[in-house]
Structure 1
């Protein structure tokens, strides 16, 4: 039985993960971390991870970037693997996550969906084949409660395209003050926030007289929750310190 501690247990994703784990025989949530410390499920909830003195095999983090440093402190102290699903980290936090991976297994991904991660491979192939002849634009849509923009997933998609292009692309997030034709070597990234949109991402390769669009739409948060639990199972089994992502999970499947 895999023992999971869930950071952000009372949030939207935390509640979905709790429900999924309740229907699995091989995993159990033994503790939750939430700033308010409110108990909403059948496991104890702590405002601070350091208050938890029990044992767990892995932590899933779907909380807020403000909790990252404290969570990493706990994981390093207790040598606990951690699956980081939270997005919006700054450069200092990303550097800290990378440093922690030298001592413990760390999984980090801007999107936990299997479909999105397969989409990354398609984008790399498109960028290699289409190269200089196509402009690249990315549009992402999310609910009106999402804090970061652009989404971590949009940046993942942009990075996949950028690494396969024959030129050094510039990310452009806002054009409303630019009075000029679109430069060739850029990747435009646009964010939409509204309603209860779970998550939609489109990448357009726009060429002369033709457009190729690769699109992913999440119909519920469950696709991300399932990915997070799969990542936790993978990380707890791999043992070795390192920085892992969904491509490693896909390869293990």
Structure 2
């Protein structure tokens, strides 16, 4: 039985995580939100799962490093400075960071990388995602994860080859670009489609989240897997052995 603590416990994902921890037969070590005593939670936990906000990340990492406690980071909207902080922490503790904890999404990413590596740049790549009206970041962390997978397959840098926010007279699509489109509305838990389009045919790889429990179940699996691992930075692909 693994004692799992939750950062961001009062949010929708936090509530789903509590249910998933109980379903998996593990122990819920407690939760912490803004203003709570993080150190006490870290001390009571074998591993932490963080679904809070980017601005809280550094404090979480510092607390985990101080207590030598591994952490699973599912927070989205991370920027270069956050990834640098994760890299630094991962030299001292096991850290698993992902834009999506769903096992299905991460299998999709593996398929996207494989397809991108086999198809030439005469196949345009577009990533379309839709989420509920309350989501605050775009493109989603999952869309970025899929974009990174496509970029790895192509052997290119995503930042230098991405297109998003098209509006007005944008000109022709740049060859080799990876495009992003974000839709928001209703209560959609998360739909993602990666489109490979050539002049004569099209491949669409799609994942649809029926509810957010898939993310909670994946996060709990990741947390249990991370306990006892060597110091380093991990991803969901490591769990799937991809």
Bin of the TM-score, shorter chain as denominator length: over 0.9
What is the aligned partner in structure 2 of residue 248 from structure 1? 238
Q: Deviations over 1:26-57 (max 9, x none)?
A: x1011211126xxxxxxxxxx13035474211
CA gap of 1:178–1:48, structure 2 versus 1, over 3 A, is: farther
The runs of at least 4 consecutive aligned structure 1 residues that moved more than 3 Å come to 51-54, 166-169
Aligned length: 240
Is 1:35 the counterpart of 2:34? The answer is yes
Give the corresponding residue for 1:39: none
Change (3 A) 1:55 1:48: closer
Contact 2:53 2:75 in 1 (8 A): yes
> For the Cα contact (< 8 Å) 1:168–1:185, is it kept in 2?
no
* Partner SS for 2:45: coil
Matching of residues 218-237 of structure 1 within 5 Å: 218-237=209-228
Q: Distance in 2 between matches of 1:202 and 1:230?
A: 25
SS at match of 1:22: helix
Q: In 2, Cα distance between the equivalents of 1:202 and 1:160?
A: 13
**Kept in 2: contact 1:198–1:221 (CA 8 A):** yes
TM-score under structure 2 normalisation?
Answer: 0.94
Among 109, 118, 136, the alignment partner of 1:147 is 136
Match of 1:200 in 2: 191
Q: Assess, with a 3 A threshold, how the Cα gap between structure 1 residues 19 and 168 changes in structure 2: closer, same or farther.
A: closer
* Match of residue 102, structure 1, among 91, 98, 103: 91
Paired position in structure 2 for 1:175:
166
Q: Distance in 2 between matches of 1:182 and 1:174?
A: 13
Report if the CA contact (8 A) 2:73-2:97 is conserved: yes
Deviates more, 1:178-187 or 1:219-228: 178-187
CA distance in structure 2 between the partners assigned to 1:202 and 1:227 by the alignment:
20
Q: 2:202: which partner in 1?
A: 211
Q: Distance in 2 between matches of 1:161 and 1:78?
A: 37
CA 1:167–1:66 in structure 2 vs 1: closer, same or farther (change >3 Å)? closer
Structure 1 unaligned blocks of 5 or more:
37-46
SS class of match (2:44): coil
Taking a change above 3 Å as real, the CA distance of residues 53 and 156 of structure 1, as seen in their structure-2 partners, is closer
| More RCO (CA 8 Å, sep 6+) | 2
Retained in 1: the 8 A contact 2:90–2:233?
yes
Q: Larger Rg: 1 or 2?
A: 1
**Alpha-carbon RMSD:** 1.7
How does the TM-score come out when normalised to structure 1?
0.90
Query: Mapping of 1:182-193 within 5 angstroms?
Result: 182-193=173-184
How many Å apart are 1:221 and its aligned residue?
0.4
